[in-house]
Amino acid sequence: MIKLHNVSKSFSRFQAIKSILLTINKGEIHGIIGASGAGKSTLLRLMNLLEVPDEGEVEVNGQKLTNLSSKELRQARKSIGMIFQHFNLVANKTVYENVAVSLELANFPKKERRSRVLECLQFVGLESFVEKYPAQLSGGQKQRVAIARALANNPEVLLCDEPTSSLDPNTTAEILGVLDNINKSFGVTIVIVSHEMEVIKSICNRVTVMAAGEIYDTALIEPKGIQNLDNSPRYFIEQLTKDGDLDHA
């Protein structure tokens, strides 16, 4: 579903991503974990070309994004949803308008817009908040609106950059539940960037561990825990073994 082929990215002279090779399968929930500054967000932002790689190819949904014209890229982005740590809602738009705008951008048939917006808001449990503004919502509710907005155009992929990092533990669990539900109900491939092992462990099928712009390892997370994690940084190994669920190969 998502293929990064020898992708590199530098900011002025600092190399944030060092020739990364990564494949994310259709239908999986893929975690990307690593310390702050490891390059997780940059890696995620390469997947919809918010960051343009210096070299390498980015393929999503069978399309080589790196080869597209800007118009084709905009089209491709409509089937790649994205949510953020700070939600990034338009504060001067109502909940309804925030979701509707993504349909407007995609030229979704006018007549069906209202019912589609309400359907998405219902899915995230906010159907009674249509006329509210983001300032009137809690953090968890704002993230739900952002999820509804990302979901509106039936994306194939949902990119999540620290989606729960500004939420309390209960709300975190709720939002992760919503994401899991999206994956199970619609088969949306989900990529979640997080620095919290708990988040990754609770919903991901696979995890990629990053440090200093490189991938240390990619491991499967089976129901009984994380498998085959060979050479990850000590910090994460410790995190994992602490909870006794690292079945180290």
Partner 1 sequence: MPDILVQYEAEIWASIGKTFVMVGVSILAAILLGLPVGTLLFLCRKGQKLENRIVFSILNLLVNIIRSFPFLLLVVFLIPFTRLIIGTAIGTAAATVPLSIIAIAHYSRLVEQSLLDVPKGVMEAAISMGASVKEIIFKFLYVEARSGLVLGLTTSIISFISYSTIMGVVGGGGIGDFAIRYGYQQFKTELMIYMIIIMVILVQLIQFTGTTVSRMIDKR
Ligand X SMILES: Nc1ncnc2c1ncn2[C@@H]1O[C@H](COP(=O)(O)OP(=O)(O)O)[C@@H](O)[C@H]1O
Residue 105 CB, nearest approach to ligand X (Å)? 24
Cβ closest to Mg ion, residue 147 vs residue 192: 192
DSSP run (H or E) holding 96: helix 95-105
Q: Considering the rule CB under 8 A, would residue 63 count as an interface residue with partner 1?
A: no
CA 93 to chain centre: 23
Residue 245 CB, nearest approach to ligand X (Å)? 24
Beta partners for residue 9, in sequence order: 17
The closest of 216, 193, 205 to 50, measured between CA atoms, is 193
Residue 197 CB, nearest approach to ligand X (Å)? 14
One-letter-per-residue 3-state SS of 153-187: CCCCEEEEECCCCCCCHHHHHHHHHHHHHHHHHHC
Q: Considering the rule CB under 8 A, would residue 149 count as an interface residue with partner 1?
A: yes
Residue 200 CB, nearest approach to ligand X (Å)? 14
CA atoms within 13 A of residue 70's CA, in its CB half-sphere: 1
Q: Considering the rule CB under 6 A, would residue 13 count as an interface residue with ligand X?
A: no
Q: Considering the rule CB under 6 A, would residue 41 count as an interface residue with ligand X?
A: yes
Taking the CA atoms of the chain, what radius of gyration do you get in angstroms?
18
Q: Which of 68, 106, 118, 212 binds partner 1 (CB under 8 A)?
A: 106
Q: Considering the rule CB under 5 A, would residue 164 count as an interface residue with Mg ion?
A: no
Q: Which of 1, 41, 83, 121 binds Mg ion (CB under 5 A)?
A: 41
Cβ closest to partner 1, residue 22 vs residue 89: 89
DSSP run (H or E) holding 8: strand 2-11
The binding track of 121-140 with respect to partner 1, each residue x by CB under 8 A or -, is ------------xxx-----
The closest of 148, 203, 151 to 172, measured between CA atoms, is 203
- Separation of alpha carbons 220 and 215, rounded Å: 14
Q: Considering the rule CB under 8 A, would residue 186 count as an interface residue with partner 1?
A: no
Cβ closest to ligand X, residue 118 vs residue 212: 212
Q: Considering the rule CB under 6 A, would residue 233 count as an interface residue with ligand X?
A: no
Positions touching ligand X (CB under 6 A) are 11, 16, 34, 36-42
